[in-house]
Structure 1
Amino acid sequence: MRDDLRHSVQALLRHPGHALLSLLTLSCGLGFAIFAAGIYFSFTAGDLPFPEPERLVAVEASRDGERSQAKSVHYLDLLEYQRQTPSLEALLPLQTDTVTLGGQRQYPANFAAARVSAGIWLWLGEAARPELGRGLLPGDSEPGAAPVAVIGADLWRRFLGADPAIVGSRLKINGVDTEIVGVLPGRLRFPMTQELWLPFQPPAGTLSRGEGYSMGTPQHVMALGRLRPGASREQASAELHQVAQNLATQFPANNRRVGALALPYAAWGLPDVDMILLGLAGAAALLLALVCINTANLLLARANERRQELAVRAALGAPRGRLVMQMLTETWLLCLAAAGLGLFFSAWALEATQQAVMATADGRLPFWIHFTMRPQAVLVGLGVSLLTALATGLLPAWRASAVDLNSALRDGRGSQGRTSSRFARGLVWVQIALSSLLLLASGLQTYTVHQRLNAGTGARMEGVLTARLTLRTAEYQGSGEAVQAARAALWNRLQARLDEAAASAQARVALSTSLPGGGMIDTDEILPEGMTVQDGQYPEGGNYRINAGFFDAMEVKLLAGREFGPQDRADSLKVAVINQNFAQQHWPGQDPLGKRFAIVEGQTQKRIGPWITVVGVIPHVLQGIGRERGLRAANFYLPISQATPGAPADMGIALVGVPDNAASRELLARAVAQADPSLALEQVVSAEERQRIAHGGEDVAAAMYLILGLLTLGLAISGIYGVTSRAVQLRGQEIGVRRAVGASDGQLMRMLLGQALSLLALALPLGLTGGALALSGELGSSLPLGLGVLLVGTLISSLVLFSTWLPARRALRQSPTAALNSP
């Protein structure tokens, strides 16, 4: 074994160019595979600082067998799960929330909070041991107990100046005077990103499963369980499933499509991770296949050069297995060195990914996820490198060891030369198909993400400072007339204060329940006047409340009619401004001004609301993120001044014409404090940054797709040239024979190029079709796909034809005698 290693190292050093090219090629594939494994284990393994984290089980409701959302278990269902799931030691509820915390020396601020059952703290171990004071106790959740809270150490230092007397002090939380009883370690963000904890209180009011199977109501909670010693998550899942089936039988109107799932804690609240990981794994596998083909071609060429050496060793008595092992050892050394190089670059890429995701996740990344190199990923890299060595080196080694001693010692060609050309053509075919598939998929993914991130919204986005204000204090909660009047009065006061602030900065104010370029797409069922509806299937429209002057401030030009003004009061004619999509879908070819529609209220018992008259039409303004639904949405806008009853509980604020700096943020904060000093702004960012955050880190994904595309392009150029030119070189003797019997250079060139075109005709459509299928549903238009197919097809065809023409031209310059003696 030692001699084999020494001989392999010497063989590699004798041909440093070949070794370096093989090393770099292998490093591309192995590095990306290790990176993909690092992403996978960062999500699934996590850094959970709890004792026996494998016993913690997150329970989520499912809808028609599919995961829905973390806060999805109805409290009445939870009570049944608690009673009828013996595999769980306990199953406890909690709720996540955002609360407004009043500062002692600054404006109030919003923080992610959780309302937690005291029993959960026992499961968290040392991670939840207070640095100061105490944690939550069972008595804190009792009816009538004094309001208390526990805060995280980072919040304590960042927002409260690490006040040593914080324990026992009282602060306003959502306007309620609350005692701070403890400070927990800063690393803890339980259950996901929270840093303030309140006692859990059961949902208020009469408990009812409500209409249908809707989830996310105030009576839905998150649920965390702990397995009994020896019990498995599969047992718990089966028990929960049985209970869910019983509930579906008992309450078919509400629970017919509702199930229950027991998930690992690290899977909590991450329903789309499987698709991300599957895409990464698929890309890594295809890239590795491309790498294996490239490297196998290099090794075949190297083995062809060593046939006489191998023949001499065979003649001296070396068994074939020893020759194969000798050549495999060289491949293993290359793969291990490439894995080391790939490990270095993938560790760097994981750290860069962590920084990029933290910059774009807006504090939403669960605390246990940290993209870093993990031992599991290193082991995967080692295993993949060994498999790659086997897949890449075994066939070249086996073919090279099958030497015909007489012919190899006579002229350097073995009997395998007769089939090498066919094998080389097979390599070219696979290389073309894989390269075109990966190039098309990565290129179009990069394009679509870039388009979404840089698409215009139809409204001004430069020089716009945005924020969100959510009403969390008790006087604004509920649906009574007093609450609605308080909300309406607040928005009037805020509008006045913001107008004053904007005037001092020579800016303008825009208010909307959802600002353009991000946030949610808010929809309601509607009934356009004159439409006949069958089976209660009403069309949907996007519903947004805005202030008078909104479109002028956001520089959206009206196509027809007017926007809202002071005449649009609560007691005047109900009016709306609609977008082009709304007009074209419901009144095609007609003048929409003066047309009417109504909002359909209720879920099961549907009621037609008051008629609303269209007074203006605008171009399409993108609400939400720019996917297909947002681009085709039929949106309508209603004045905030006509929102009573039904005044919104939160509002997006845009200060148009100011930079995102401390002075502008102070203007906004002061205006809110003057309107109501107990409220706090959140998500204070520029409109461009807000749009980027709304895409949830898609710019990180775009960078990954771009890197994958560049790797594929590099491998395609080197690989297609390598396998194609080698296929031509292997036909050197055939070219010599044809020239000797009278074939002209033009005929031979046309023959070789024609055979290259026949390979393209078979392999290129296959690869392009695979890439197009992989992107089905991702593209909103067929034009990018068509252009992508054209560009990738042209690039791959040019590479193949050039890689055929150049070595063919060299071969045709040789004399027939030299060609007949070529290897």
Structure 2
Amino acid sequence: MSWLLDIKYAFRLLIKAPKFTALTLVVLIGGLSLSLFTFSFLYAIVYKPLPLPEGDTVYRVFGNHNGHRHANVAYEILQAMQQEDVFSEYGIWQDTSVRLSINDAGKTIPASFVQPNMFSFSRTEPIMGRTINQEDLRTDAEKVVVLSHTVWQNDFNQDPNIVGKNIRINETVTTVIGVMPKNYNFPIVSKLWLPLPQQLQNIQPSSKQQYPIYARLNHNISLKQAEQQLSDAANSIYQLTYKQYDKEEGELSIELASFPIAQTDRDGSIVFTFFNLIALSILILACINVGNLLLARAIERQKEIAIRAALGAPQKRLTLQLMWEGIIITLLGGVLSVLLVGALLSTTDSIIKSALPNNIPFWWNWELDAPTLLMAIVFTLLTIFLASFIPAWRSANQDINATLRDGTRGAQSKKAGKLSRMLVTFQIFLISTLLLMGSVSAFIAYFLLNVDFGVNYDRTYLASFNLQKQEYPTEQQQRNFIQGLLTELEQSPQITNTFSYFFIGQSTLKIQTEKDINTLPKKIKTFSIIGKGDFYRAELLQGRHLSISDNENAQRVVLVSQSMVERYWPDEMVLGKTIDVMLNQQEQTFTIVGVVANLADGSSFYSDKISEDEMHLSGLQFSSSYPRIIYKYHDNEQEAEEYFYQSLFKFNRNLEPNRLEPASYSSDMMKNIAVIVAWITFGSAGFALLLALTGIYGLTANSVVQRTHEIGVRRAVGATDRNIIQLFLKHGSKQLMIGMGAGMMVFSVIAIAFQSFTENMIPPLLYVALITVVVTLLSVIVMLAIYLPTRKAVKLEPSAALRYE
């Protein structure tokens, strides 16, 4: 029972030193909480299995075409899935948004068109009524809908008799047939579920439509095997269909990903690793500081420990005896950290879900779950090892004779001095790396908060559509729909301007120029537009707008961006010039009729260009089944949204926009995320800097104190105060150079990889500026941490320093 005596003794030591106990607890709770919260927050977004029965077996299926991921190329992938027996279950769905009419008002709700097997696939039964069956998919079937628990609770006051009642969805009478359980929003954010329309059920070889696919692997096949088999089969089918049905040439492969990984577009793993490495580094800093404090207490007892060892105490007993203080503090800190992180996760969950009630994937639930608790145990054990075991083992594993010989009169042993210098160097390395990486993250957050893409989001709404080929088979029908909807919207007194555009893609430009053609961009971003879009996008600088006279029977015309003029025709008149463009695998000639202002690249935040070259073609000459409608309203957002649906239903009561939201929604979300990242970055960097300051100062001060006797000897033999301070600063500068040098080497490798990943987003000179600032800051901090305790020591009288214990 000797270990009980050791625990009681450790408790007495901690109670007798309340300041030491409080300081170590604060440091540990800070490091553990930050690491644990970072892990749990990102794990819920990137890796957490779907909160469904057998949720860890659910995958999304993607088609990679020429290296670009698509939701899928529907026909080829579905044919391959039918040929290859790799899935036990699968199906398709289509996300949309619908207008739910309640009394005289309405609201837009995210919904999904689904197949009957989706509910059985998710292993979830309704709490009331039934789900969609095969009969509901017939074209002559009654219109039916399944409600989510949220809609049933918030919009129908949990009416116990809701099943069988009629409600209005998109002004169509629809019968409620069931209500799903609470928190069920599969596949992603759905609040309503409707039968998959007939035109989506029979996908033809000529189809270019893209639909998301859910699937569950057979137990006898691995993920890699399934991807390979499906890729081979899908690509074989695609090679037969792309020529026959005028599809883009290339290779088609299949990729499977979990829903969380798919939602983060494969970048989630990078973000998860990056931020967890930062958090783990801060935890290590905290462990070093706590270990240093415990080591200092152990050094104070070093002579006592040496005497015990000389009397026959085993090393194992001495190590455990010294560890108990650290174990008690770490366990207490771990418990308090778990409680704190649990509260933070619950608050985070409430804030985010309140701010974005309809746009959070249903698996984004932040709570104290099993992986978080398991990671808390791992972090706690790591902390015990770094902050408790290593100092205790180092103190117990000593040369008894050397300690009794040179450990008297407060002198610092050689081993203690070497360890102190190594810890200071390692802390400098960690903090320099963290500060450099944090500075880059802060710059990115600042960039995202302040970037101006040249788009006017003020009182502007955006709607996007997927015009099905079965309903709008010709380009003329697509154009008629867009023109009619724009005209109807303009009749509203609430709406001032309308505009339609869609992104055609990257078109190859062929142009006669004196410049070397190899130095010019080969691809130009190309849009098709209907209307005057300068209230929303680029302002007209020269020439004229595209008009209704620029139709399919007229001369092909184009608006070019100012950056194109400066790049290709500097100091020339461009109006009336002709250019050849490879569009839809055909070379066509266009006449320039106008020049528009530059827009920053809105497709990627990782561009090294201030602006992107753009061409705007007439939407009456090049239409699309994926148009975007932009309209500007006066003041009342609710009325503007209501009138949009009224206008839409005059043309097609069964057509729902894929999304209808303020045009600034994506930008605002990006900026909100940037604010969160900035606060996390600055908070983490501030906490890490505080840890580094206290740690480096504590280590150097403790080292100087233990060398007080040496300082007294040096002064007694004639050394001046200045000489002694310079000597200590010289030793410290070596640690500073080694630590920062290693940090800059690691940062250089990260910076090179980051530049490649972000397409040279950050100017190289900024890295130089960041390194200069961090080196200067750390140099001042470390030199002060050495100078202040050294200056205090040299102020002692030589006689007092020589007698110092």
TM-score range, shorter chain: 0.7 to 0.9
Q: What pairs with 1:65-84 in structure 2 (closer than 5 Å)? A: 68=69, 71-72=71-72, 74-84=74-84
Structure 1, gaps ≥5 residues long: 211-216, 503-507, 515-520
Give the distance between the partners of 1:567 and 1:482, measured in 2 at CA.
17
Q: Where do 1:128-143 residues align within 5 Å?
A: 128-132=125-129, 134-141=130-137
Which of 728, 732, 741 aligns to 1:756? It is 732
Q: Contact 1:336 / 1:382 at 8 angstroms: preserved in 2? A: no
Instruction: Tell me the CA shift for residue 569 of structure 1.
Output: 7.0
Partner of 2:245: none
Shift of 1:277: 1.8
Q: Distance in 2 between matches of 1:406 and 1:501?
A: 89
Q: Which residue is 1:63 aligned to?
A: 64
1:351 aligns to what?
346
Deviation larger for 293-302 or 36-45: 36-45
**Is residue 201 of structure 2 the alignment partner of residue 222 of structure 1?**
no
With over 3 angstroms needed to count, the CA separation of the structure-2 counterparts of 1:738 and 1:414, relative to structure 1, is closer
Partner of 1:609: 588
1:208 maps to 2:205: yes
SS at 1:497's partner residue?
A: coil
Match 1:323 to one of 315, 318, 325: 318
The answer for the alignment partner of 1:784 in structure 2 is 766
Once residues 544 and 76 of structure 2 are traced to their aligned partners in structure 1, the CA distance between those partners, rounded to angstroms, is 50
Cα distance between partner residues in 2 of 1:539 and 1:223? 34
2:529 to 527, 532, 545: 545
Question: Is 2:513 the counterpart of 1:513?
Answer: no
Residue aligning to 2:276: 281
Q: Cα offset for 1:525?
A: 0.4
Equivalent-residue separation in structure 1 for 2:414 and 2:217 (angstroms):
66
Q: Distance in 1 between matches of 2:67 and 2:42?
A: 21
The alignment partner of 1:441 has SS state of helix
C-alpha distance in 2 between matches for 1:725 and 1:789: 27
Q: 1:562 to 1:486 in 2, by over 3 A?
A: closer
User: Structure 1 residue 478: deviation in Å?
Assistant: 3.4
Structure 2 match to 1:587: 569
Q: Secondary structure at the match of 1:103?
A: strand
1:214 matched residue in structure 2: none
Match for residue 454 of structure 2 among 447, 458, 475 = 458
Separation in 2, partners of 1:689, 1:250: 39
How has the CA–CA distance of structure 1 residues 82 and 612 changed in structure 2, closer, same or farther, with 3 Å as cutoff? same
- In the superposition, the TM-score normalised over structure 2's length comes to 0.85
Alignment of 1:174-189 (within 5 A): 179-189=175-185
- Of 294, 300, 304, the residue aligned with 1:305 is 300
Matched residue SS, 1:51: coil
Higher mean C-alpha deviation, range 812-821 or range 185-194: 812-821
Change (3 A) 1:803 1:524: same
* Aligned position for 2:246: none
Deviation at 1:719, TM superposition (A): 1.6
Partner of 2:692: 716
After TM superposition, give the deviation of residue 299 of structure 1 in Å. Answer: 1.9
Seen in structure 2, the aligned counterparts of structure 1 residues 261 and 156 have a Cα distance that, compared at 3 Å, is same
Assess if the C-alpha contact under 8 Å between 2:478 and 2:623 holds in 1: no
CA distance in 2, matches of 1:243, 1:65: 16
- Give the secondary-structure state (helix, strand or coil) at the position aligned to 1:739: helix
Counterparts of 2:343 and 2:17, CA distance in 1? 30
The CA deviation at 1:332 is: 0.9
- 1:156-213 per-residue CA deviation (whole Å, 9 max, x = no partner) reads 4555676777655666767877554333334221112122223345756773277xxx
Alignment of 1:121-520 (within 5 A): 121-125=119-123, 127-132=124-129, 134-141=130-137, 148-156=144-152, 158=154, 167-168=163-164, 179-200=175-196, 203=200, 207-208=204-205, 217-218=208-209, 220-225=211-216, 227=218, 231=219, 235=222, 237-248=224-235, 257-264=251-258, 267=261, 269-270=263-264, 271-314=266-309, 317-358=312-353, 363-401=358-396, 402=398, 404=400, 408=404, 412=408, 417-461=413-457, 463-468=458-463, 470=465, 477-494=472-489, 496-498=490-492, 500-502=493-495, 508-509=496-497, 511-513=499-501
Distance 1:623 1:193 in 2: 25
Taking the aligned partners of 1:668 and 1:434, their CA distance within structure 2 comes to: 52
Identity %: 22
- Partners of 1:617 and 1:711 in 2: CA distance: 48
| Contact persistence 2:45–2:364 (CA under 8 A) | yes
Q: Deviations over 1:415-440 (max 9, x none)?
A: 97123222211111111111011112
- Measured in 1, the distance between the counterparts of 2:566 and 2:336 equals 57
1:307, 1:413 within 8 Å by CA — same for their partners in 2? Answer: no
Distance 1:700 1:407, change over 3 A: closer
Change (3 A) 1:751 1:596: farther
How many Å apart are 1:47 and its aligned residue?
Answer: 7.1
Map of 1:600 onto structure 2: 582
Compute the displacement of 1:367 (Å). 0.9
AA at the equivalent of 2:231: A
Q: How far apart, CA to CA, are the structure 1 residues paired with 2:792 and 2:617?
A: 74
Per-residue deviation, 1:723? 2.2
Aligned residue number for residue 706 of structure 1 = 682
**Contact 2:486/2:499 (8 A) holds in 1:** no
Residue aligning to 2:25? 23
8 Å CA contact 1:290–1:715 kept in 2: the answer is yes
563-572 vs 747-756, which moves further: 563-572
Counterpart amino acid of residue 222 in structure 2: Q
| Aligned counterpart, 1:33 | 35
Does the 8 A contact of 1:33 with 1:285 survive in 2? yes
Residue 602 of structure 2 aligns to which amino acid in structure 1? Answer: Q
Instruction: Out of 395-404 and 435-444, give the one that drifted further.
Output: 395-404
Residue aligning to 1:811: 793
Question: Does structure 2 conserve the Cα–Cα contact (< 8 Å) formed by 1:469 and 1:681?
Answer: yes
Structure 2 distance, partners of 1:691, 1:613, is 31
Distance 1:65-1:488 versus aligned 2 partners, 3 A rule: closer
Q: Tell me, what secondary structure is at the counterpart of 2:494?
A: helix
CA distance in 1, matches of 2:799, 2:428: 33
Rounded to whole Å, the distance in 1 between the matches of 2:468 and 2:234 is 36
Residues 1:568 and 1:142: Cα distance change in structure 2 (over 3 Å): closer
Q: Which secondary structure does the structure 2 equivalent of 1:92 belong to?
A: strand
- 1:407 and 1:236 map into 2 onto residues whose CA distance is 60
Cα displacement (A) at 1:7 = 0.6
List alignment gaps of at least 5 residues for structure 2. 243-248
Identify if the C-alpha distance between structure 1 residues 636 and 474 changes in structure 2 by more than 3 Å, giving closer, same or farther.
closer
Change (3 A) 1:311 1:609: same
| Alpha-carbon separation, structure 2, partners of 1:624 and 1:263 | 23
For 1:505, the equivalent position in structure 2 comes to none
Higher mean Cα deviation, 360-369 or 331-340?
Answer: 360-369
Deviations 1:228-276 (A, max 9, x none): xxx35x5364245234335546755779844445555665544332222
Residue 775 of structure 2 is matched in structure 1 by 793
- Kindly provide the amino acid, as one letter, of the partner of residue 95 in structure 1: W
Letter in 2 for 1:452: L
Q: In the alignment, which residue of structure 1 is the partner of 2:628? A: 651
- Change in Cα spacing, 1:22 to 1:542, as seen in structure 2 (3 Å) is farther
Q: Is the 8 A contact 1:460 1:555 kept in 2?
A: yes
CA distance 1:162–1:32, shift in 2 (3 Å): closer
Task: Give the structure 2 partner of residue 524 of structure 1.
Answer: 506
Alignment partner for residue 745 of structure 1, among 715, 718, 721? 721
Letter matched to residue 9 of structure 1: F
Superposition deviation, residue 29 in structure 1: 1.7
TM-fit CA distance, 1:366: 2.0
Given the superposition, is the C-alpha separation of residues 76 and 135 from structure 1 closer, same or farther in structure 2, using an over 3 Å criterion? Answer: same
Answer with 162-171 or 692-701: which moved more: 162-171
Query: What is the aligned partner in structure 2 of residue 518 from structure 1?
Result: none
Rounded to whole Å, the distance in 1 between the matches of 2:39 and 2:203 is 48
1:803: Cα distance to partner?
0.6
Q: Is the 8 A contact 1:476 1:484 kept in 2?
A: no
In 2: Cα distance, 1:67 partner to 1:610 partner: 28
**Helix, strand or coil: the match of 1:513?**
strand
Structure 1 counterpart of 2:704? 728
Deviations 1:112-138 (A, max 9, x none): 33333323433434x332513x21223
Q: 1:318 aligns to what SS in structure 2?
A: coil
